[in-house]
Amino acid sequence: MKKPILAAALFAAMAAFGGNAVLADDHAAGAIKYRQTVMKSIGDHMGGISMVMKGETEVEDIGLHVGEHAKGINASATLIAGAFKAKVDDPSGSTEAKPEIWSDWDGFVKAAEKLEATSAALAEAAATGDKDAMGAALKEVGGSCGGCHKEFRQKKS
């Protein structure tokens, strides 16, 4: 009678601890996928702005389109720090995040805040409808992206 109870207890303990390991792996994978989704949304909005500004797509109101994309960048930029707050291991190697994000957390947060500010300025410029003003503001947004990528993002091989 004792052996079946002991076996059941051992099985329950293994299931509980094994389940937590799987849960931790799922959480890490989810955290990485989420932050990649946030960053991809910024890239997609930048792509849309680029297409509109270069005339690769015809839209009636350039300022409206650029402005809405800028607001999308701004909204996503407000999520960056929260999305990266948890440092999780990535055994799959799917992330381009450098360890400097967490070793220079204040610098990383400042870079995210810079993107928030420059994207807000782009939305304001877009509201004027002045294509030159939009172009200048877009250059600042690009500088924010590039500066952060240089310090905190590794290139995939």
What CATH number has the domain spanning 2-152?
Answer: 1.20.120.10
Q: What DSSP string runs through 50-116?
A: HHHHTTSS--S-HHHHHHHHHHHHHHHHTTHHHHHSS----TT----B-THHHHTHHHHHHHHHHHH
At residue 5, the pLDDT reads: 63
At residue 14, the pLDDT reads: 43
Over the stretch 120-155, which tens digit does the pLDDT of each residue have? 999 999 999 999 999 999 999 999 999 999 999 998
At residue 12, the pLDDT reads: 47
Which pTM was predicted? Answer: 0.82
What does residue 146 show for φ and ψ, rounded to 5 degrees? Answer: -65, -40
> How far separated are the first and last CA of the chain, in Å rounded?
58
Integer Cα distance of 26 and 32 in angstroms: 10
Domain residue spans in the chain? 2-152
At residue 152, the pLDDT reads: 97
Over the stretch 44-73, which tens digit does the pLDDT of each residue have? 999 999 999 999 999 999 999 999 999 999
